[in-house]
Amino acid sequence: MPVFDTLTLASLPAADEALRAAVRALADEVVANAPADIRARSWSGFDPAFSRRLGAAGFLGLTLPKAYGGQERGPFARFVVVEELLSAGAPVAAHWIADRQSAPLILNYGSEAQRETYIPRICRGEFVFCIGMSEPGSGSDLASVRTRAERTTSGWCVNGQKIWTTGAMHGDYMIALVRTSGTGEDRHAGLSQLIIDLKAPGVTVRPITDLAGDAHFAEVFFDNVDLPVDALIGNEGEGWKQVTAELAFERSGPERIYSSVVLLDAWIAHLRATGRDDGATLALVGDFTARLATLRAMSIACTARLALGESPVIEASLVKDLGTAFEQELPVAIGDDLAAHPGEEVDAELYRTLMFVTYVAPSFSLRGGTREVLRGIIARGMGLR
Amino acid sequence: MSEFLEPFERMLEDVATPAAVRAVERGSSIAAMWGAFAESGFLDALVPEDRGGAGLPLAEVQPLWVALGRHAVPLPVGETMIARALLPDAPEGPIVLAVAEGATVVVPCGLVAAHFLFESGAGLHMVAAKGEATGVPASLAARIDPRPLPAPVAPSPEGGLRTIAAILRAALIAGAAERLTQMTAAYANERVQFGKPIGRQQALQQEMAVMAEEMVAARIASQLGCAGSFPPSLVAAATAKSIASRAAARVAATAHAVHGAIGISEEHDLQLFTRRLHEWRLADGSESYWNRLLGAERLKDARRSVDFVREAL
């Protein structure tokens, strides 16, 4: 009988497809004057005004209940909106994490008061969230986090450090995985999630410049940061379970196939302008096209599982691993192609885009779970232990 | 799941056992196995209802083709379904499909076919022939020189015969890849080396995870190829065969890497599937053949890549 047959062709419902034109109009407007190398920075593009415009137009909180300011449309609607934003190269950093992960997490595990405090403003694009997972000594081995929150008479006192925190310098809040009891030896037990107000006394955020000259992630220090008792999300000690569910949101969207798509389109525009159409060129274009089409169908298949209320952890890992391999191969192959035709002029914008994507491509298979971690999850799904 | 898949799968388990597949490959009579397909009515799955067929949409036939691959069926069952759908007066017996471009062609299952349906120019030509063995051991593929062709029996289908053959081939690849993925994971859990099942080795787990990815990609691409009308569009067929052919070689390689020497042996069933993957990868256009055609279509189009794949499929 079939294996992994939960991933099967699905199509986007017409009602969700209908959102496309309106979100495209907004995205096209915001990128109208942006060169490809800026559009290629879609994920790290920080434009709070644009995020608020998306919120006002009903394009945030698509999977969240109306009671909290969401649209109650579901994962397919989110797929359409995200696909449009990323393929246009629109700046999404001001709402991305809050909309994708933080709000669903708060909805699932937060108290009623937390839901009412945070979710409506996330849906309006007003609150910027970041996720405090990695630490200097905790990368893929997340259970080894050492940032600690101690109970106080008034709530919690946090000490420690997070690093590689995307968007922390712009963030209003961090949802941090911290140890509330036990030690690293206890592994998954004793971990909890706290909402940390990044403007609280004792929080220091220091941006980290990356190899492409951007500062999209940061280190965050906590020095006796006092938080109220309701900073805890969900149950004390259940942070691991919550984080695992949160990562499933992160791994399963269309964002895992489109990181290099602005470069792909810039290269295709170059080929169309030069008129180059030899067999090797056509084969490379065709290979990318076939893989993009298939990955998109796989991503929609995964979205269909989300729409059924499942948490498709294995399926999402499968799509993400294959998707990031594609995203990483694009700059390698496009660089080879362009430099194999030295007589062809490559304009400065395409060259900058190529080099930007080339430099940041390694991050595609690090963020949200490394390639090796994902393959381990898939292997367990195949019954390998 | 298609309601037709379950009875079809049961029939395959019955008639296309590994022993039966090997017997056909050794030249035994195909009469019993072919008879089962002929009697089942499945050969007319794609034939319109007004011509007495089942008139199934392509998307419902696709799982049947995948099942043929999953069982390494050594007969041109899918090809005959296609020929019967295209021709009101198709002859009885197994039919294979080929495109005549002047040169001698290699056609899978040609040695067990009663007829070759050739496409040449704008027409389809039916040839009662046997073709010659390729000399590749156990292969049922035949070499055949299409020249001279008799008068055409029908015009070419829209988009050409190879486009239709490609989506069948992609589905067969997806099925064999599925079976190999299962066999490989099962073997890795049984085979003990260094005091533990080799499936506990992270290095092998990682390879097998990639194998599963390729297998799922081939299946989804095959579904994309069969999602539209019959005959399929060039973009749909090219996507399906490009991805499936690419996966075929990779999946076969990992299956063998994990099985070690036993997988190379004739007595192990692995080779029934990996040999077919290689043959099907080349048949009806490899990944590069379809990539070139797809690339040409893509470059005609000024839209974004996401819009192209979204609207063309």
CA angle A102, A105, A106 (to 5 degrees): 85
In this structure, the answer to whether residues B54 and B175 fall within a common structural domain is no
Q: Which of B144, B177, B209 is the last residue of a domain?
A: B144
In this structure, the answer to whether residues B200 and B109 fall within a common structural domain is no
Residues of A carrying an active site annotation: 250
In this structure, the answer to whether residues B254 and B205 fall within a common structural domain is yes
Question: What pLDDT is stored for residue A1 in this prediction?
Answer: 42
Q: Cβ separation of A290 and B206 shorter than 8 Å? A: no
Q: Cβ separation of A290 and B221 shorter than 8 Å? A: yes
- Domain with B194, as residue range(s), is 161-312
- Enumerate residues 6+ apart whose C-beta is below 8 A from B290: A286, A290, B166, B237, B238, B239, B241, B242, B245
Question: What pLDDT is stored for residue A216 in this prediction?
Answer: 92
Residue of B87, B255, B285 whose CA lies nearest to B168: B285
CA separation for the pair A59, A100 (Å, rounded): 12
CA separation for the pair A241, B113 (Å, rounded): 58
B149 assigned to some structural domain: no
In this structure, the answer to whether residues B132 and B205 fall within a common structural domain is no
B150 assigned to some structural domain: no
Taking only the tens place, the pLDDT of each residue in A194-211 is 999 999 999 999 999 999
Q: Cβ separation of B189 and A296 shorter than 8 Å? A: no
Question: What pLDDT is stored for residue B284 in this prediction?
Answer: 97
Residue A3 has pLDDT above 70, yes or no: no
In this structure, the answer to whether residues B140 and B209 fall within a common structural domain is no
B295 three-state secondary structure:
helix
Q: Which of B216, B297, B311 to mutate to test the interface with A (most CBs of A within 10 A)?
A: B216
Listed by number, the residues of chain A in 228-267 with a beta carbon closer than 8 Å to a beta carbon of chain B are: 258, 261, 264-265
Q: Which residues of B touch A88 (CB under 8 A)?
A: 304
Question: What pLDDT is stored for residue A143 in this prediction?
Answer: 86
Q: What is the helix (H) or strand (E) element at residue A194, kind and residue range?
A: strand A191-197
Q: Which of B144, B175, B208 is the last residue of a domain?
A: B144
Number of Cβ pairs closer than 8 Å across A and B?
172
Q: Tell me how far CA of residue A87 lies from CA of A44, A80, A168, B307, in angstroms.
A: 14, 11, 25, 9
| ipTM summary value | 0.97
Residue of A306, A260, A330 whose CA lies nearest to A79: A306
B287 assigned to some structural domain: yes
User: What is the identity of the amino acid at A353?
Assistant: T
Residue with tokens 């991305």: A96
Residue of B304, B121, B137, B159 whose CA lies nearest to B241: B159
Taking only the tens place, the pLDDT of each residue in B135-191 is 999 999 999 999 899 999 999 999 999 999 999 999 999 999 999 999 999 999 999
Taking only the tens place, the pLDDT of each residue in B271-292 is 999 999 999 999 999 999 999 9
Q: Cβ separation of A286 and B242 shorter than 8 Å? A: yes
B155 assigned to some structural domain: no
Q: Which of B144, B169, B201 is the last residue of a domain?
A: B144
Residue B61 has pLDDT above 80, yes or no: yes
In this structure, the answer to whether residues B168 and B130 fall within a common structural domain is no
Number of domains in chain B: 2
Find the mean pLDDT for residues A292-314.
92
B51 assigned to some structural domain: yes
- Enumerate residues 6+ apart whose C-beta is below 8 A from B7: none
- % of chain B with per-residue pLDDT over 70: 99
φ/ψ of B273, rounded to 5, equals: -90, -40
A296 burial level (CB within 10 Å; 0-12, 13-18, 19+):
buried
A374 touches chain B (CB under 8 A): yes
Find the mean pLDDT for residues B13-21.
98
In this structure, the answer to whether residues B128 and B220 fall within a common structural domain is no
Residue with tokens 């390879």: B207
Measured between alpha carbons, how far apart are the two ends of chain B, in Å?
21
User: What is the identity of the amino acid at A165?
Assistant: T
Q: Cβ separation of A384 and B205 shorter than 8 Å? A: yes
B299 assigned to some structural domain: yes
In this structure, the answer to whether residues B123 and B243 fall within a common structural domain is no
What rounded mean pLDDT belongs to chain A? 94
Q: Cβ separation of A282 and B295 shorter than 8 Å? A: yes
Find the mean pLDDT for residues A323-348.
97
Burial readout A202-212 (b: 16 or more C-beta within 10 A, e: otherwise): ebebeeeeeeb
CA separation for the pair A77, A60 (Å, rounded): 10
In this structure, the answer to whether residues B139 and B168 fall within a common structural domain is no
**Domain CATH code at residue B32:** 1.10.540
Question: Encoding tokens for residue B208?
Answer: 């097998």
In this structure, the answer to whether residues B98 and B176 fall within a common structural domain is no
Find the mean pLDDT for residues A267-278.
97
CA separation for the pair A65, A68 (Å, rounded): 6
Question: What pLDDT is stored for residue A298 in this prediction?
Answer: 96
User: What is the identity of the amino acid at A328?
Assistant: Q
Q: Which residues of B touch A378 (CB under 8 A)?
A: 209, 212-213
B195 assigned to some structural domain: yes
In this structure, the answer to whether residues B183 and B140 fall within a common structural domain is no
In this structure, the answer to whether residues B196 and B298 fall within a common structural domain is yes
Residue of A45, A35, A165, A25 whose CA lies nearest to A96: A45
Question: What pLDDT is stored for residue A254 in this prediction?
Answer: 67
Listed by number, the residues of chain A in 339-368 with a beta carbon closer than 8 Å to a beta carbon of chain B are: none
Question: What pLDDT is stored for residue A4 in this prediction?
Answer: 82
Residue A71 has pLDDT above 50, yes or no: yes
**Domain CATH code at residue B239:** 1.20.140.10
Question: What pLDDT is stored for residue B36 in this prediction?
Answer: 98
| Cis omega (within 30 of 0) for bond into A13 | no
Question: What pLDDT is stored for residue B2 in this prediction?
Answer: 67
Nearest CA in chain B to A261: B305
CA separation for the pair A343, A346 (Å, rounded): 9
Residue B83 has pLDDT above 80, yes or no: yes
Q: Which of B245, B306, B309, B313 to mutate to test the interface with A (most CBs of A within 10 A)?
A: B306
Q: Cβ separation of A282 and B304 shorter than 8 Å? A: no
- Read off the pTM: 0.96
What rounded mean pLDDT belongs to chain B? 96
B151 assigned to some structural domain: no
A155 three-state secondary structure:
strand
